[in-house]
């Protein structure tokens, strides 16, 4: 279930792969907020976390997705790119596994060097074929410099 939450947030948000200079954001301490809802499932609490991005890590994808090796480990595939300057469109697809359902997600994130917000749509499917639709609201902002 933990992987589902990670995948749902990642999918709703959405990335892996190499860092793209086109999605550069300002290095520093960021606060991210995610609210995901699945139809027919008890509402999940909103999550908030702080992430320190340094130097070449300062890419929007680093805030939105698990590390590329984690995504690859679960057989997931990511596609994404700029729809227009300041707008990242992405999709993430992960197959169902014995311990976690599969996830197909699409998102559109509007961003500046110091903030982002966006919406994601997801489809969660287990091995038996049970499917749940969901959506996520994502936002984040730079809140200062990283702690020393």
148: which 2 tokens?
């020393």
Q: What band does 43 get if pLDDT is binned at 50, 70 and 90?
A: confident
56: which 2 tokens?
């070449």
- pLDDT tens sequence across 100-126: 889 999 999 999 999 999 999 999 998
Q: What band does 22 get if pLDDT is binned at 50, 70 and 90?
A: low
- Cα–Cα distance, 66 to 89 (Å, whole number): 17
Which is more confident, 46 or 17? 46
Q: Using an 8 Å Cβ cutoff, are 80 and 15 in contact?
A: yes
Q: Using an 8 Å Cβ cutoff, are 53 and 27 in contact?
A: yes
């Amino acid at each position: 279930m933990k992987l589902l939450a990670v995948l749902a947030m990642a999918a709703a948000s959405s990335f892996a792969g190499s860092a793209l200079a086109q999605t550069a954001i300002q290095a520093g301490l960021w606060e991210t907020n995610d609210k995901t809802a699945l139809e027919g499932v008890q509402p999940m609490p909103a999550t908030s976390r702080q992430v320190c991005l340094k130097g070449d890590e300062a890419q929007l994808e680093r805030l939105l997705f698990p590390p590329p090796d984690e995504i690859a480990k679960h057989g997931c595939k990511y596609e994404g790119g700029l729809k227009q300057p300041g707008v990242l469109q992405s999709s993430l697809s992960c197959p169902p596994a014995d311990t976690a359902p599969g996830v197909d997600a699409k998102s559109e994130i509007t961003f500046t060097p110091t903030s982002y917000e966006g919406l994601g749509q997801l489809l969660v499917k287990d091995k038996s074929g049970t499917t749940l639709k969901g959506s996520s609201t994502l936002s984040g902002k730079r809140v200062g410099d990283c702690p020393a």
